[in-house]
Amino acid sequence: MVKHNLNITKLQSSYLFPEVTKRKNNFLEKNPQAKLISLSIGDTTEPIPSPITTAMHDAALRLASKEGYEGYGPEQGLLELRQKITQQYYPKHINSDDMFINDGAKCDIGRLQMFFGQDVKVAMQDPAYPVYVDGSVLAGQTGDFCQTKEAYNDLTLLACTPKNNFFPHLSKLSNVDLIYFCSPHNPTGAVASKKQLEELVDYARKNRSIIIYDSAYAFYIQDSDLPKSIYEIEGADEVAIEVGSFSKLAGFTGVRLGWSIIPSKLKFEDGLSVKKLWIRFLSTVFNGASNIAQYGGLACMGPEGQSEIQKIIQFYLENARILKKAIDQKFQTFGNINAPYIWTYMGDQSSWDYFNLLLEKAHLVTVPGSGFGSNGEGFIRFSSFGSRENILKAAERLQQL
């Protein structure tokens, strides 16, 4: 008889997004005529620009010839792709040798959780992308769930609320090993300033912690004085791993492509190189990202690809402005638009109540803020991924609510 992995049954609820889909489907079963609009999971909706799909098409066709066939690729990913991403997004701060191409940010976050093992103490923003908590639980890093505290015993949650402008009080943080930090922040859309990131890096340097910096939405930052990468902060390459993604950058949510940066300067307490151990670990559990996807990624980095993907990012940002304007008339939203999400305080009822209200009265599918952590209670996350037609309709329904 095989025993189950106890860490799996420590998870407190089903994964947030399938739960939203389940409730949406239940509603549709009872109301089959309802024309629902999804402002829910952050999934891109606009087609991938043709210079990029053509590159993937050509790459697929090359595989059909003897001369063009490629099998397993270089483990770290195509050198040219690593160099292009580095030149494009980290020109001053990072060496392409420290970049690892992956099949999406979520997958590498999961692998990092396995890599660090069960003995690390973990901290993260609350609310946060649910994978940070759930993945830490699966990796055995959180201790048991305490029903009275309604929290995991060994997990540090850093409150990010309107009161602290969505940046946690680090002075109260006791020693932790790993700190997840997401900016632009899913779900609040808040972007940490240079000064705030300096504070975070300073904390990590003093306490010898490692930051796992999730920059999946960096390309949505419009304010030029806001940092797009943790490596814009001096000394961050001694304490931070950064995880990036093509998903929201180029509509690759289904294609699957991303990267992680593990700087050579990053060390464990005993002086061992994190990158060296990561290479050893990764070559055992991962065989590289799809070569077709990587050629698509390469096309994204060319001048034509860049200009096309920028247009789509601007399109989603305009969606966000339309939605925010409509929501602002009824509820309280926060921050400037530097992310595809609008974090909205609805009132003192539960987020699931507001989720139901928006579903039943406006036929809008959203995400309840409490699904991202207890500090999300009373909030709703609206996603701005959608066709313009749907976003305008959703804005109208919100105004009529």
Site residues (CB under 6 A) for ligand PGU?
17, 41-42, 104-106, 129, 182, 186, 214, 216, 245, 247, 253, 258
Distance CA 111, CA 372 (A): 21
Distance CA 52, CA 49 (A): 6
Residue of 232, 279, 309 whose CA lies nearest to 99:
279
8 Å CB contact between 174 and 51: no
Q: Which residue has the tokens 């609206």?
A: 382
Q: What is the gyration radius of the CA atoms in the chain, in angstroms? A: 21
> Both tokens of residue 163?
């009161």
Distance CA 163, CA 372 (A): 18
Least distance from ligand PGU to the Cβ atom of residue 2, Å: 28
Instruction: Closer to ligand PGU by CB, 108 or 308: give it.
Output: 108
- Collapsing DSSP to helix, strand or coil, 122 comes out as strand
Instruction: Closer to ligand PGU by CB, 66 or 285: give it.
Output: 285
Instruction: Closer to ligand PGU by CB, 130 or 235: give it.
Output: 130
Instruction: Closer to ligand PGU by CB, 8 or 272: give it.
Output: 8
Least distance from ligand PGU to the Cβ atom of residue 273, Å: 26
Least distance from ligand PGU to the Cβ atom of residue 270, Å: 30
Least distance from ligand PGU to the Cβ atom of residue 282, Å: 16
- Collapsing DSSP to helix, strand or coil, 344 comes out as strand
Least distance from ligand PGU to the Cβ atom of residue 42, Å: 3
- Kindly give, in sequence order, each residue whose CB lies less than 8 Å from that of residue 106, ignoring residues fewer than 6 positions away: 131
Instruction: Closer to ligand PGU by CB, 59 or 101: give it.
Output: 101
Least distance from ligand PGU to the Cβ atom of residue 396, Å: 23
Peptide bond just before 187 cis, omega within 30 deg: yes
Q: Edge-to-edge, what's the strand order for the sheet holding 178-182? A: 99-102, 258-261, 240-245, 210-214, 178-182, 122-126, 155-159
Least distance from ligand PGU to the Cβ atom of residue 356, Å: 19
Instruction: Closer to ligand PGU by CB, 161 or 253: give it.
Output: 253
Instruction: Closer to ligand PGU by CB, 45 or 247: give it.
Output: 247
Least distance from ligand PGU to the Cβ atom of residue 67, Å: 32
Least distance from ligand PGU to the Cβ atom of residue 400, Å: 26
Distance CA 87, CA 194 (A): 21
Instruction: Closer to ligand PGU by CB, 12 or 264: give it.
Output: 12
**Residue 178: other Cβ atoms inside 10 A:** 22
8 Å CB contact between 100 and 125: no
Q: Does an H or E element contain 151, and which? A: strand 151-152
List the Cα angle 264/268/271 in 5-degree steps: 80
Instruction: Closer to ligand PGU by CB, 82 or 106: give it.
Output: 106
3-state helix, strand, coil split of the chain in percent (to 5) is 45, 15, 40
